[in-house]
Amino acid sequence: MTNRYIEELKNKIKPYRYTYKGKSIILESTAGNYVLKECNNDLNSLFKYLDSRNFNSHPKIIDNKDNEYLFNYVEDIEVPKEQKINDLIVLIADLHRKTAYFKEVSEDKFKSVYEDIKNNILYLKEYYGNMFEEGFKEIYMSPSTYLFMRNYTKINNSLLFCEQELDNWYELVKDNKTKRVALLHNNLELNHLVNNNIISWNEYIIDSPILDIIKLYRKEYYSASFEPVLKKYLSIFELLEDEKKLLFIMISMPWTINLTKNELENCKMINNLIDYIYKTEKLIRPYYSKD
Domain check: are 48 and 187 in the same one?
no
Domain check: are 170 and 211 in the same one?
yes
Of the candidates 177, 186, 176, 188, the one whose C-alpha atom is nearest the C-alpha of residue 206 is: 186
Confidence of residue 291 (pLDDT cuts 50, 70, 90): very low
Q: What is the pTM of this model?
A: 0.92
Tally of domains in the chain: 2
Find out whether 9 and 15 touch, Cβ atoms under 8 Å.
yes
Domain check: are 58 and 108 in the same one?
no
Domain check: are 247 and 199 in the same one?
yes
Instruction: Tell me the residue range of the domain where 103 lies.
Output: 97-287
Confidence of residue 2 (pLDDT cuts 50, 70, 90): low
Domain check: are 34 and 175 in the same one?
no
For the chain, the average pLDDT equals 93
User: What mean pLDDT comes out for the span 127-138?
Assistant: 93
Q: What is the pLDDT of residues 241-263, one digit of tens each?
A: 999 999 999 999 999 999 999 99
Q: What is the pLDDT of residues 73-107, one digit of tens each?
A: 888 888 899 999 999 999 999 999 999 999 999 98
User: What mean pLDDT comes out for the span 32-55?
Assistant: 94
Domain check: are 46 and 104 in the same one?
no
Give the residue, 161 or 12, on which the prediction is more confident: 161
Distance from C-alpha of 93 to C-alpha of 261, rounded to nearest angstrom: 43
User: What mean pLDDT comes out for the span 273-285?
Assistant: 97
Domain boundary among 36, 58, 73: 73
Domain check: are 146 and 274 in the same one?
yes
Domain check: are 162 and 207 in the same one?
yes
CATH number at residue 62: 3.30.200.20
Q: Is residue 86 a part of any domain in this protein?
A: no
Domain check: are 172 and 66 in the same one?
no
Give the residue, 38 or 22, on which the prediction is more confident: 38
Domain check: are 114 and 209 in the same one?
yes
Task: Report percent pLDDT > 90 for the chain.
Answer: 79
Q: What is the pLDDT of residues 147-192, one digit of tens each?
A: 999 999 999 999 999 999 999 999 999 999 999 999 999 999 999 9
Domain check: are 135 and 252 in the same one?
yes
Q: Is residue 91 a part of any domain in this protein?
A: no
Confidence of residue 199 (pLDDT cuts 50, 70, 90): very high
The lowest-confidence range among 223-227, 266-270, 275-279 is 223-227
